[in-house]
């Protein structure tokens, strides 16, 4: 399933955040979306996931038109996302959070009990996979920042997305967890999930990505494998402002 945009445009008042962005991510791979602050990366994620409507342009996933569709429609099409500022319910336990990610409010009470048990088991499975099962009964607000990010990812995985957008997965996490996040992304990718990652940590980007798209002023200026991007003068220019 290929995620593409064509001519994507979004302005906030006089500020043009996306300026006709034509992007194609490589399905089945770890894609990164990088670029200087203010180059439109978050706005791009918000448009693609239906949080905001673009002014113009098209978003397609596996050939299906997702332009301007609501977040739950995008999620149902198989595109999941995490947020830069990590969205979890602070007063719910970890396992409740994972369940809530697929059922708003975490209300599994309405489900037949066999199905409910299966869902709870699946939630524990993801917590185990992400190494936070020992915190299943802990309220999210008592977990560390990095653990909360893993919890948010567990919720995203619960919906079984084919494509996962990660907004700064390394932001604010300690080096040990950073390694774990890198390994997790590669492992989850090896199982067939496509990733698109917005990330400032260039070591992480260069080590886990297969394909990098570079944004500057609301549109891509370069795309290719890490070795090519690292050597691209336009990329250096965008970052250094020369
Ligand atoms: P990045 O994620 O690459 O840092 P953003 O998408 O956050 O870039 O921002 C792109 C541009 O759009 C910036 O100039 C930013 O100030 C502006 N912008 C983003 N969101 C809003 C908003 N809700 N209201 C006004 N301006 C915004």
- Alpha-carbon distance values, 122 to 111, 127, 158, 196 (Å): 14, 9, 7, 24
The C-alpha angle 188, 193, 196, rounded to 5 degrees, equals 100
Let me know whether 43 and 99 are in one domain: no
> Stretch 87-104: mean pLDDT, rounded?
86
> 144 Cβ partners below 8 Å, 6+ apart?
none
Instruction: Quote the ligand 1 centre to 42 CA distance (angstroms).
Output: 7
Let me know whether 54 and 97 are in one domain: no
Mark residue 173 as left, alpha or beta (left: phi above 0; alpha: psi -120 to 50; beta: remaining).
Answer: beta
Cα gap 168→191, rounded to integer Å? 22
Domain boundary among 160, 181, 201: 160
**85 found inside a domain:** no
> Stretch 36-56: mean pLDDT, rounded?
96
Position 38 pLDDT exceeds 70: yes
Q: What is the interface pTM, i.e. ipTM, of the complex?
A: 0.97
Let me know whether 111 and 218 are in one domain: no
Let me know whether 60 and 99 are in one domain: no
DSSP character for 67? Answer: T
Atom of ligand 1 minimally distant from the CA of 218: 10
Let me know whether 152 and 167 are in one domain: no
Instruction: Quote the ligand 1 centre to 117 CA distance (angstroms).
Output: 43
**151 found inside a domain:** yes
> Stretch 10-20: mean pLDDT, rounded?
96
**83 found inside a domain:** no
Let me know whether 73 and 185 are in one domain: yes
Provide the pLDDT for residue 89. Answer: 85
Instruction: Quote the ligand 1 centre to 38 CA distance (angstroms).
Output: 5
Instruction: Quote the ligand 1 centre to 123 CA distance (angstroms).
Output: 34
Let me know whether 203 and 225 are in one domain: yes
> How many domains, the chain?
2
Cite the beta strand spans of the chain per DSSP E. 3-12, 15-24, 30-34, 56-61, 64-65, 79-81, 163-167, 194-198, 211-216, 219-224
**103 found inside a domain:** yes
Let me know whether 72 and 168 are in one domain: yes
Atom of ligand 1 minimally distant from the CA of 198: 2
Let me know whether 19 and 139 are in one domain: no
Domain boundary among 160, 189, 217: 160
Provide the pLDDT for residue 236. Answer: 80
Let me know whether 101 and 173 are in one domain: no
Q: Write out the residue range of the structural domain in which residue 155 sits.
A: 90-160
Probe ligand 1: pick from 13, 14, 15, 83, max atoms within 8 Å of CB? 15
**184 found inside a domain:** yes
Nearest alpha carbon, ligand 1 atom 23:
12
**27 found inside a domain:** yes
Provide the pLDDT for residue 241. Answer: 60
Residue by residue, DSSP assigns 214-233 as EEETTEEEEEE-HHHHHT-H
Let me know whether 130 and 10 are in one domain: no
> Stretch 158-183: mean pLDDT, rounded?
91
**147 found inside a domain:** yes
Let me know whether 60 and 41 are in one domain: yes
Q: What is the CATH number of the domain that holds 201?
A: 3.40.50.300
DSSP character for 139? Answer: B
Q: Write out pLDDT tens, residues 200-215.
A: 899 999 999 999 999 9
**56 found inside a domain:** yes
Q: What residue ranges line ligand 1, CB within 6 angstroms? A: 12, 15, 17, 35, 37-43
Domain boundary among 101, 128, 160: 160
């Amino acid at each position: 399933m290929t995620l593409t945009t064509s001519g994507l445009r979004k302005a906030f008042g006089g500020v043009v955040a996306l300026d006709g962005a034509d992007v194609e991510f490589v399905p089945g791979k770890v894609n990164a979306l990088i670029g200087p602050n203010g180059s439109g990366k978050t706005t791009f994620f918000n448009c693609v996931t239906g949080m905001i409507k673009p002014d113009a342009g098209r978003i397609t996933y596996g050939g299906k038109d997702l332009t301007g569709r609501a977040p739950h429609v995008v999620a149902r099409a198989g595109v999941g996302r995490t947020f830069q500022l990590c969205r979890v319910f602070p007063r719910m336990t970890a396992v409740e959070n994972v369940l809530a990610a697929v059922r708003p409010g975490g209300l599994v009470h309405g489900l037949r009990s066999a199905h409910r048990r299966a869902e709870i088991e699946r939630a524990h499975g993801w917590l185990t996979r992400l190494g936070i099962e020992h915190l299943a009964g802990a309220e999210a607000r008592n977990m560390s920042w990095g653990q909360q990010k893993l919890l948010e990812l567990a919720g995203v995985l619960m919906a079984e997305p084919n494509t996962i957008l990660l907004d700064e997965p390394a932001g604010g996490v300690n080096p040990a967890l950073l390694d774990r996040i890198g390994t997790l992304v590669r492992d989850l990718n090896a199982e067939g999930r496509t990733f698109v990652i917005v990330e400032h940590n260039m070591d992480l980007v260069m080590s886990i990505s297969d394909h990098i798209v570079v944004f500057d002023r609301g549109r891509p200026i370069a795309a290719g494998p890490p070795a090519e991007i690292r050597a691209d003068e336009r990329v250096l220019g965008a970052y250094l402002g020369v």
